[in-house]
Chain A
């Protein structure tokens, strides 16, 4: 393979089980550097699991995940691939950031600390520098005035925007977004989506979004993956998936989602 053409993220026959429940059964998935992909599909089809595997919150039961041309779920011992140990994971997951459905801000820290603790403690960024960067990021998400507030004093939408700033503070190459607007009141959704559009426009971060916001998916994604039962039912550019889906499963899924809206 040509070095330049190698996908940034590569799932190679990835198997993930929870007990007897085989969630991913030999999944192959490639994402290129700088690409914005959206994962859609019915509940339980494995979308969250894919993001959690990339964030190393879950571990594969078979197959291998590659990031940047290097093994990610595994590491080399000699020329054997063995499951990655914690040290290896720490070295390699620092290129990846994640925003959660429920925000998961640290309630024992102010907004500023939430955004600076990662860079200071995991990347060794000096406190002042991290703090300056926090101010910039909070300005970008429109919350510079909340820098000394506690998460409990913020609305869900504000908390989620802080969570996005927190993830960006780690300067990730890959950003994982798992239904980041699903827990929000409807009137707060637009503010968060605007921030994400801004990131899509102003950076070259590779983004993997799980979302039910089809309008947003259409606007920002380069490719949409339709999942069903842990497999890719169909994938393609958003115009094709939303405008001219080939698979019946995609059609019925989109119909259900759009009716719901």
Chain B
């Protein structure tokens, strides 16, 4: 027990890096997902090609390889060294953003064509109807899958020690290596840390979902327990073409 209390500050420092990587990685992934996903729904062939190349390339490449590439290889080719933490955020964001882009694309495509037609009848521009009509409806559809993706991203941050960053996992691993406590204890603390963080993320996404559904005039499950229900897989991209 003493070990746990004394080592908490160090764990906390590792956890802070995990949180930073998750938050910034998710922010980057989100922006990429929205922009690239939207490009993927456009009639313009060039826009769709850009979207396809990005999603296929970054979904196909393991996050780990991306991490090594940004962390090490990039410097060898260009002589330009990315700050390690930034390299990690880039690798995670680009990877998860590719999955997110597919979610955005299929959610937008799942909004009934009749909604677009109604906005054309009101003579709205492409930009206005995407922003005011299509995207807000697709948003409710994206959120559950986004919830899953951000948790996937958080879990994926555990690989960053491989380019020399000290995240929550690395802190635990260092304790094990220095044998200050047994393996069970050192990893259990990390486990609890990840679990709590995942819970926070789930609750945040749930709150966003509720708000989105309320805006669509849909019934929402307002129970406290409902907030902890993990995002359901499969309710995600229904009707996607």
> Which of A's residues lie within 8 Å of B, judged by CB?
55-57, 90, 93-94, 96-98, 100, 102, 104-109, 117-118, 121-123, 150-153, 166-167, 170
Contact = CB atoms under 8 A, between A and B. Distances in A.
Given A100-B121, A106-B133, A122-B125, 15 more contacts: A98-B121, A100-B118, A104-B114, A104-B117, A106-B132, A108-B133, A108-B215, A117-B124, A118-B123, A121-B122, A121-B125, A122-B123, A151-B217, A152-B218, A170-B123
B120 A56 contact: yes
Contacts of B157: none
B112 to A, nearest CB: 8
Contacts of A105: 118
Most B CB within 10 A of own CB, among A94, A122, A151:
A122
B132 A153 contact: no
A55 B128 CA distance: 18
B217 A55 contact: no
A54 to B, nearest CB: 10
Contact of A152 (B122, B124, B137, B216): B216
Contacts of B136: 108
Contacts of B137: 106-108
A160 B120 CA distance: 18
Nearest to A104: B118
The 7 closest A-B pairs by CB, nearest first: A150-B217, A118-B122, A152-B217, A104-B118, A122-B123, A108-B136, A98-B121
B124 A122 contact: yes
Tell me the dominant secondary structure on chain B's binding face: helix
B179 to A, nearest CB: 57
B123 to A, nearest CB: 4
Interface of B: 114-115, 117-125, 128, 132-133, 136-137, 215-218
Contacts of B117: 55, 57, 100, 104
A100 B122 contact: no
B132 A117 contact: yes
Contacts of B114: 100, 102, 104
B217 A106 contact: no
Given A104-B115, A106-B115, A117 B122 contact: yes
A58 to B, nearest CB: 10
A118 B124 contact: yes
Contacts of A121: 122, 124-125, 128, 132
Nearest to B125: A90
A101 to B, nearest CB: 9
B120 A106 contact: no
Contacts of B217: 107, 150-153
B130 to A, nearest CB: 12
A152 B114 CA distance: 16
A84 B215 CA distance: 37
Contacts of B215: 108
